[in-house]
Structure 1
Amino acid sequence: MSLPVQLCPALADARPGAVVRLEGDEAHHAVAVRRTAVGEELRLVDGRGRSATGVVTATGKRVLEVQVGEVVDEPRPGPAVTVVQALPKGDRGELAVEVLTEIGVERIVPWAASRSVAVWRGERAVKSHAKWAATAREAAKQARRAWFPEVTPMAATAEVAGLLAGLDLVVVLHEEARATLAGLEAPDAAGASIGVVVGPEGGLAPEEVAAFEAAGATTVRLGAEVLRTSTAGLAAVAALLARTSRWG
């Protein structure tokens, strides 16, 4: 059974034998919620590839100390996957972020599609983005990830098109597309990049599809079934990663 994971950004100086101190909400969650006790083993990650495993030597209300036994620097997984997720209604956005994080997506871009039912403005935009970021953080810990995904600020269509232009392969999921995802080859080099665009409940607008195709994207369908916006990205990323050495 794998060790429980806690996020600890201050691991730059972690060395075997050293004591790492975890404070604040992360320590509170470990001690008060997970009931972590002195003598238990724990894995700390900084979200940027470094992890340290060790034994808990002290606990407090909002503090936890771990004596490091091993430090590992994991390379960034490749190919890197970016998912542009149109804003869904209700809590389906957090569901999408959760499953995309669990499957290994590197970057999640909230997208204000023209037909999105949900709207992020003002204070709601700040709170919604914070929810997505917190969901990604907790899901990364649950998935035992050393590299945590980035949740970018909300992007408009033009910003998304600019982002997609720099990726090696980009697919736009569209139920009316003639091409299928099964007909594409996924890039498999360590530094390769893949992008997946997931539209809203109301579907993609023609001008959005045109903008993404002009940026080099390929419009594809997954199959005969129409998936929800909260799960379509998961299915597409899984199909693509299954063709790479990441899942080989």
Structure 2
Amino acid sequence: MRRFLVATELVPGESLTIDGELYRHMVRVLRLHPEDLVILCDVVGAEFTAVIRRIDSRSLILDILDRHSISIDRQGIPAMTLVQGLPRSDKFDLIIQKATELGVHSIIAFPSSRSVVKIPKAQLATKITRWNKIASEASRQSERTTVPAVTYAETLEAALQGAGQSVKLLLFEREQTNRLRETLAGIDRPDKVTILAGPEGGFSETEVSSARSNGCVTVSLGPRILRTETAGIAMLAILQYQWGDIG
């Protein structure tokens, strides 16, 4: 059965009307019909079986049948936040998409001192809306049952505050002491993890120093220099293998 995310809390026995983009995807792209069964994932992470009762010209009605599981996104996997120094637009789109596929809980972009791109305040709301749409589409494609929030912070310090209390790991290509394997071996499985990845050109020494003073541990991913669109994604995959649901 096809799985869809809905922005409401569902109750068995009730009905749900779908319109807009999700309606078009279900009817015009997937060619679903009345009496087809689907899986709906609601805002609290629960899954429900539903049946399409009726399809109209601009909306459809589903009957909610039964609740049958809790979101895999909520079953003991550490909540992972990616704090990303703002890269060029196409690279950040890719980062959002792949981080979502890998189960990231939230993404916080911020203008690093070495960020090539600077977003005017007048364009920021439009950018954030677009970023969250990319995350929503990636969640649907990967059959996630939750959508990660993509937000923006004015500074690195504000981004770290937004990440809250967590294990904080900053990816720093010049780190000579803290190897990732040994660092992770010394950490019990946490409830929350924050990954900090720099933009093109990486973090400045000032940013690294500031992050360390805010509780971040700098780690190296090895002898090769990774692109900004590779580093955070690689780290997410490693942490999902170490503490999450990969493998």
The alignment partner of 1:51 has SS state of strand
Q: Which whole-Å CA distance do the structure 2 matches of 1:26 and 1:239 have between them?
A: 33
- Identical residues among aligned pairs (%): 28
Q: Which whole-Å CA distance do the structure 2 matches of 1:164 and 1:66 have between them?
A: 37
Compared CA separation, residues 238 and 245, structure 1 to 2 (3 A): closer
Q: What is the one-letter code of the residue matched to 1:49?
A: G
Matched, 1:104 2:103: yes
Counterparts of 1:16-165 in structure 2, within 5 Å, are 17-71=13-67, 72-74=69-71, 76-77=74-75, 78-163=77-162
Compared CA separation, residues 225 and 139, structure 1 to 2 (3 A): same
Q: Which whole-Å CA distance do the structure 2 matches of 1:221 and 1:53 have between them?
A: 45
Q: Which whole-Å CA distance do the structure 2 matches of 1:104 and 1:113 have between them?
A: 24
Q: Which whole-Å CA distance do the structure 2 matches of 1:138 and 1:144 have between them?
A: 10
Does the 8 Å CA contact 2:9/2:44 hold for their aligned counterparts?
Answer: no
Return the offset for 1:187.
3.9
Return the offset for 1:53.
1.8
The alignment partner of 1:247 has SS state of coil
Give the stretch that moved more between structures: 110-119 or 121-130. 121-130
The alignment partner of 2:242 has SS state of coil
Does the 8 Å CA contact 1:46/1:146 hold for their aligned counterparts?
Answer: yes
Counterparts of 1:207-222 in structure 2, within 5 Å, are 207-222=206-221
Give the stretch that moved more between structures: 231-240 or 18-27. 18-27
Give the stretch that moved more between structures: 92-101 or 222-231. 222-231
Does the 8 Å CA contact 2:14/2:64 hold for their aligned counterparts?
Answer: yes
The corresponding residue for 1:183 is 182
Does the 8 Å CA contact 2:5/2:145 hold for their aligned counterparts?
Answer: no
Structure 2, unpaired ranges of 5+: none
Return the offset for 1:163.
3.7
**Deviation above 4 Å: which 4+ runs of structure 1?**
none
TM-score by length of 2: 0.89
Does the 8 Å CA contact 1:94/1:131 hold for their aligned counterparts?
Answer: no
Aligned residues: 241
Does the 8 Å CA contact 1:165/1:216 hold for their aligned counterparts?
Answer: no
Q: Which string of whole-angstrom CA distances, capped at 9 and with x for unpartnered residues, describes residues 140-169 of structure 1?
A: 1112112221112334122023345621x1
Q: What is the one-letter code of the residue matched to 1:8?
A: V
Q: Which whole-Å CA distance do the structure 2 matches of 1:125 and 1:97 have between them?
A: 16
The corresponding residue for 2:170 is 172
Return the offset for 1:24.
2.3
Structure 1, unpaired ranges of 5+: none
Q: Which whole-Å CA distance do the structure 1 matches of 2:133 and 2:244 have between them?
A: 29
Q: Which whole-Å CA distance do the structure 2 matches of 1:234 and 1:47 have between them?
A: 26
Return the offset for 1:107.
0.9
Q: Which whole-Å CA distance do the structure 2 matches of 1:216 and 1:82 have between them?
A: 15
Does the 8 Å CA contact 2:4/2:143 hold for their aligned counterparts?
Answer: no
Compared CA separation, residues 245 and 128, structure 1 to 2 (3 A): closer
Q: Which whole-Å CA distance do the structure 2 matches of 1:245 and 1:122 have between them?
A: 37
